[in-house]
Amino acid sequence: MTLNDLIPALKGHGRRRAVDEVERLKEREQQLETALGEAGDEVALLRWDLTVAHHQLDEAQEIVVQQHATVDELTTERDYWRDEALALKARFSVQLAADANANRIDVPPMIRPIDGPEDQATGPIDVRPLWDAVGIRPVTDPGRTR
């Protein structure tokens, strides 16, 4: 920055002002070229990010297709084993019931011991309103405010 730039009265008239304007426009052009270069770099980075994203999307779609095939295989296998289990259950249900009845364990009915004070049976809980339990009636005097 020069002395003429700091003192506006020294800038001059006519031709000198045109030179100043040209200098200002050159500086502005330089700023715009710098911004354009930075924008180009940003666009290049965004294109790279887009390429990486497309690659990851392709990988994810491939994984989804593989998992879908695995689910289909497992569903078929599950259905086969379910049908097999139902067939065996139908075939051997009579024998399983006979074994269960033949090998049953009879347990006599149990009575809860109430030897300790913490195990004493409790009585029914009184759920009446308090004045009924104590034997009083609520005050219903309309002239009373409290």
User: 6: pLDDT confidence band, cut at 50, 70 and 90?
Assistant: low
pTM score of the predicted model: 0.40
- Mind listing the pLDDT tens digit for each residue in 26-36? 999 999 999 88
**Can you give the pLDDT at residue 18?**
76
User: What is the 3 state secondary structure string of 41-106?
Assistant: HHHHHHHHHHHHHHHHHHHHHHHHHHHHHHHHHHHHHHHHHHHHHHHHHHHHHHHHHHHHHHCCCC
- Mind listing the pLDDT tens digit for each residue in 77-130? 999 999 999 999 999 999 989 999 999 887 676 766 667 777 666 777 778 888
Has residue 14 got a pLDDT over 60? no
